[in-house]
Amino acid sequence: MTRSLLLVVLAALATAASAQDQTVLYPGLSGAELRAAIRADYRPSSLSGDNDDLYARIDSVTVDGQLGVIGVYTGLFVPFDGVPNSDPSQDVYNNGSGINQEHTFPRSQLAGGSSHRSEDDLHNLFPTRVSVNSDRGNLPFAEIPDNLTTRWYRGETATSADPPENERDEWSELRSGQSFEPREAHKGNVARAMFYMATVWNDVASQSWFAAQQDDLFDWHNADRVDQAEVVRSELVARYQTGCGSGSCVNPFVVDSTLIRRAYFPGLIVGTETAPAGLALEVDGPNPFRGGTRVRVRATGAVQLSVVDVLGREIVRLHEGALPGGTVTVSVGGARLAPGVYSLRLVSGEGTITRRLTRLR
């Protein structure tokens, strides 16, 4: 499923009143300096939890009077029923038909695939349906246009047939061999786990693998805000992880929702959050689009307007220099872009704004 950054921000602002209260950490810090501070204060020296703790004490829930675990990608509930035995991890595994743990930041991308204690960080581990965990493997996360989805997952179902449009937010998606998109309700949790691992375990977590996903993850973080359940989970995980410089081994990206922007997108203006009155960038035509779309830009002074790919490489430069009259509408031709997800980037002396563009087949 695709969404524009503008829609993400509007959705985030609309739900801000119901989002979990936040604490601002490290006011005044940004970029590499902020990432270093987070790493120094939130990297645990001792990881004592295991998958039995994950299931029985951290992610256990009661559904219709039964205690069990829900797979985060599918919503599949598996009860603790003592079959095949009472060991929590084997109980919900159900000989491969139930749930196991997934490394959200894959093991193969931690320390080059070799064993490292970062693999045991419970902030990165979630219960998932076994077959979906296997299908995702070590694929990166991404927004997948529905017409490029090869497999859909919900409950016990895995299908190549498109679900009804009004249900699609409840399904996770696979683009075979390329990427995986979680269901909407878990996207923010995925994003905050990924940024946590990339920051706290930066010396072993593959930064090049992570970099191409940052824009989508940032969108997901803004669209699916921190809720009380995620706060409680972070605090439960912290009981099994000690030795953090801050004295608490919670996920700081759950505590402070501004950290991702400040640590990884310093200077980025999102929506109207910090934009000067004279600076604006809006998609004024269809998005996603096929044949083309339009972009409206307002700025004073010289600007550079470009379409960039997920790695930040400029694909098309749409405008450079001052804007006639301070405001212009620029056409983006579909013929110049291969199908895929891009960012529209406006750089000026007052800041940088990005908007998501999706070119359909």
Q: What is the mean pLDDT of each run of 10 residues along the chain (361 residues)?
A: 38 41 86 95 95 94 95 97 91 95 96 86 98 97 95 98 94 97 96 98 96 92 90 96 95 95 76 56 84 87 85 84 84 85 82 79 72
What span, in angstroms and rounded, lies between the C-alpha atoms of 261 and 292? 30
Calculate the dihedral angle through the C-alpha atoms of 136, 139, 144, 146, rounding to the nearest 10 degrees. Answer: -40
Q: How many CB atoms lie within 10 A of CB 64?
A: 7
Model pLDDT for residues 29-59, shown as the tens digit of each residue: 999 999 999 999 999 999 999 989 999 999 9
- Same domain, yes or no, for 234 and 346? no
pLDDT at 15: 39
Domain residue limits at 297: 280-359
Per-residue pLDDT of 151-180, as tens digits, reads: 999 999 999 999 999 999 999 999 999 999
Judge if 261 and 284 occupy the same domain. Answer: no
If asked whether residues 178 and 315 sit together in one domain, one would say: no
What tokens does 128 get? 């998932």
Tell me how many degrees the CA angle 217-298-291 measures, rounded to the nearest 5: 65
Tell whether 237 and 323 lie within a shared domain: no
How confident is the model at residue 310, as a pLDDT?
A: 64
Per-residue confidence (pLDDT) for residue 2, from 0 to 100? 43
Judge whether 201 lies within some domain: yes
What CATH number is given to the structural domain containing 354?
2.60.40.1930
- Asked if 82 and 68 touch (Cβ cutoff 8 Å), the reply is no
The DSSP H or E segment spanning 63 is: strand 60-63
How many other CB atoms are there within 10 angstroms of residue 311's CB atom?
10
pTM given for the model: 0.74
Same domain as 176, residue 234: yes
- Work out how many domains the chain is built from and give that number: 2
